[in-house]
Amino acid sequence: MSPMISLAQWDPATVNDDATLPDGSIYDIIMQIMKWLLGLVGFIGIIGFVISGILYFTAAGDDGKMGTAKNAMVYSIIGVVVALMGYVIIQAVDAMLGGDSTVF
């Protein structure tokens, strides 16, 4: 009985015909999401560079604060390298699955 009640509220005249899925396949959508996420990780890595630089300049000779700033810089570098490697791997897999003879 409840499906009949819920369907009673549906008016076909109010359906938005412009509401469609994005163009492309699920594969294209997933690739775009992966590229967006990798870009976000790279952006966060750059923000980490800036924060660690500020920490290093404001350490004022304190060895503990300078060590913290250096560790933050190392982790930022690792994050950017991982993001770049992820981008390269995604492009290589995309080329291999797409049947292209060139990787890039």
pTM over 0.75: no
DSSP states of 31-53: HHHHHHHHHHHHHHHHHHHHHHH
**pLDDT per position as a tens digit, 42-66:** 788 889 889 999 998 998 888 899 9
**pLDDT per position as a tens digit, 19-35:** 565 566 777 777 788 88
Q: Which residues lie below 8 Å from residue 39, measured CB to CB, with a gap of 6+?
A: 83
- The residue whose two tokens read 């959508």 is 29
Split at pLDDT 50, 70, 90, the class of 17 is low
% residues pLDDT > 90 (the chain): 14
